[in-house]
Structure 1
């Protein structure tokens, strides 16, 4: 458990750890990343209660003026621990530990979000995507298809994939680790029980990461894993997001875009999107088609769950297979 100025939430978090009904041996490894509040004192105050419950405790930290970041703190917490399996716990969340036989997988769970009305679309997505979509929807803006708190994996797998990136503030260390796990052939699974109370708050480290940073990582991973294999493809969305994706592609992958498709007649009537920023002469002109007249494979640049089901119905009407004929990107 990495900790940085988490004092207001630690009692609930640590009580949840005490309340685990897992009967095997457990260890809590805490690394305090230069907190300036009473976080360290709060954790130390729980040591005896945790030990009484049969949970051994390791606590360390550093006294630098500046924190080193979530990735650094997670790596330190892992390195000072000794378990064969790792279960990552955020200091502001409350989880239920469930042991699974794992080898090369990251295992997550369904979650309850606090406050309940926060991030409704995101919470619905992580709780309802299918097992297959845990692998096919890794390119969306939502990030890892199982949330970091709590990932469960073997130490052996962590050491093969990791460590976490220690670039500090503004680095999406969980997303980068997730991608690396997939690159190494790792799987993704979800326990279909709600085992985590996942708190949303404005000071969370995730808010320090810019959308552009995430966007670049997603585009690069999409090009690496999907577009590099396809001979050509259609971008589903002739609007802002679709055009932005096109402009961010490598020159090789831009040439693979055979069309944009949409349902907006105003965009379709334009017939072409001209890439004005291109240095080519003449400038590339990409056809804009109605989706019924476009051909797979598609990269879908329309956000899920934002059109009242219309986009999803249109896509389903084409009888295509996700992960083969199309991938969601937005």
Structure 2
């Protein structure tokens, strides 16, 4: 049995394999007594992926490093591939690695140190991007979240506050969740796993060092995920986990995003909305009537007030870091507590 299994799903990844495997071969944990294993599931690749994996299998085994490899005839998606790799692995701890990313030399060792004292935690890390500055807002957000925000900013369009390519955990975390959903391409399997982990009482922790080079390219699996599905999953969860605790709330953003949210609320939660708030002088002081074309009636009429007049709790439908800091300054001026007085849904 291995101490740590590196879990790698792969589909047509021939161009990335060598760099990824070289970074694993350079891990400092290999200089310790910890037994490392690499578990790869080839998800129906049609290029030279299998041939290259078999070469690396020979290389690692010659160094006394475990390497297990399974292959599917057809591609069933990332969730199924991750589950397939975990199934053939034996490690007490799981280190998830995408084939197109590159580990820093101390990644596995430092995350193992964090995970060994917290078997209930999903462990992440900071990242660097390649090409450099390819997604500056996303990288800044992920790397600058506080420990508290790891659990509060879980409803933004960025997805999980711990980026999936950096995940590391005790095997019991995976078992408790029950693995990744296997509904095929376009499914945000990482977000669904993340929410299930939190719902099961799971903890979150980030090693505050850049331990992974997160490679940005057009063929990345993340681009196959349906944004509409992410939005729906997040809306469903916020209605199940946040809004039941609020008797009333104000929606910050009287524009398109805020109106879309209000239209999509359940009847019970719709009745809790008391106003929109905004900074736009052209909207403040007016009423917004939301019309339902199916029912052919106005479902709600709400006043638009200045954000300084809004009483918490607030459901904020504004993306971060898009207004040269103006929104963030406005929010900070209210001296509110994130997670209690307001929740970001963007």
What does the per-residue CA deviation read over 1:148-177, in whole Å, with 9 as the maximum and x for residues that have no partner?
112111111211112100001111100100
What does the per-residue CA deviation read over 1:201-249, in whole Å, with 9 as the maximum and x for residues that have no partner?
1111111112111110111111111112111111111011111111111
Q: Quote the residue 1:195 is aligned against.
A: 211
Change (3 A) 1:281 1:33: closer
State the aligned residue count: 327
Structure 2 length normalisation: TM-score? Answer: 0.92
Among 270, 275, 288, the alignment partner of 1:273 is 288
Among 232, 241, 246, the alignment partner of 1:216 is 232
Contact conserved, 1:33 with 1:69, CA < 8 A, in 2? yes
- SS of equivalent residue, structure 1 residue 60: strand
- SS of equivalent residue, structure 2 residue 274: strand
Contact conserved, 2:289 with 2:298, CA < 8 A, in 1? no
Contact conserved, 2:291 with 2:297, CA < 8 A, in 1? no
RMSD: 1.3
Q: Aligned pair 1:259/2:275, yes or no?
A: yes
Q: Quote the residue 1:235 is aligned against.
A: 251
Residue 296 of structure 1: how far off its partner (Å): 0.5
Q: Aligned pair 1:305/2:321, yes or no?
A: yes
Q: Aligned pair 1:156/2:172, yes or no?
A: yes
Contact conserved, 1:18 with 1:53, CA < 8 A, in 2? no
Q: Quote the residue 2:27 is aligned against.
A: 20
Q: Tell me how far apart the structure 2 counterparts of residues 285 and 266 of structure 1 sit (CA, whole Å).
A: 17
- SS of equivalent residue, structure 1 residue 139: coil
Contact conserved, 1:235 with 1:242, CA < 8 A, in 2? yes
Among 23, 37, 47, the alignment partner of 2:57 is 47
Contact conserved, 1:261 with 1:294, CA < 8 A, in 2? yes
Q: Quote the residue 2:197 is aligned against.
A: 181
- SS of equivalent residue, structure 1 residue 284: strand
Among 7, 27, 33, the alignment partner of 2:14 is 7
Q: Aligned pair 1:69/2:84, yes or no?
A: no
Change (3 A) 1:229 1:44: same
What does the per-residue CA deviation read over 1:176-203, in whole Å, with 9 as the maximum and x for residues that have no partner?
0001001101111100000001011111
Q: Tell me how far apart the structure 2 counterparts of residues 166 and 282 of structure 1 sit (CA, whole Å).
A: 40
Contact conserved, 1:246 with 1:254, CA < 8 A, in 2? yes
Mean alpha-carbon deviation: is it higher for 96-105 or for 217-226?
96-105
Q: Tell me how far apart the structure 2 counterparts of residues 111 and 266 of structure 1 sit (CA, whole Å).
A: 41
Q: Quote the residue 1:288 is aligned against.
A: 304
Contact conserved, 1:234 with 1:299, CA < 8 A, in 2? yes
- SS of equivalent residue, structure 1 residue 111: strand
What does the per-residue CA deviation read over 1:120-163, in whole Å, with 9 as the maximum and x for residues that have no partner?
11111101111100000011110000111121111112111121
Unaligned runs of 5+ in 1: none
Q: Tell me how far apart the structure 1 counterparts of residues 209 and 166 of structure 2 sit (CA, whole Å).
A: 13
Contact conserved, 1:26 with 1:54, CA < 8 A, in 2? no
Q: Tell me how far apart the structure 2 counterparts of residues 138 and 190 of structure 1 sit (CA, whole Å).
A: 15
Contact conserved, 1:2 with 1:32, CA < 8 A, in 2? yes
Q: Quote the residue 1:326 is aligned against.
A: 342
Q: Quote the residue 1:37 is aligned against.
A: 47
Residue 283 of structure 1: how far off its partner (Å): 4.2
Within a 5 Å distance, the mapping from 1:65-214 to structure 2 comes to 67-95=75-103, 96-97=107-108, 98=110, 99=112, 100=114, 101=116, 102-214=118-230
Mean alpha-carbon deviation: is it higher for 52-61 or for 166-175?
52-61
What does the per-residue CA deviation read over 1:282-328, in whole Å, with 9 as the maximum and x for residues that have no partner?
64211110001111111111110111111111111111111110111
Mean alpha-carbon deviation: is it higher for 228-237 or for 52-61?
52-61
Q: Aligned pair 1:246/2:262, yes or no?
A: yes
Residue 49 of structure 1: how far off its partner (Å): 2.5
- SS of equivalent residue, structure 1 residue 268: coil
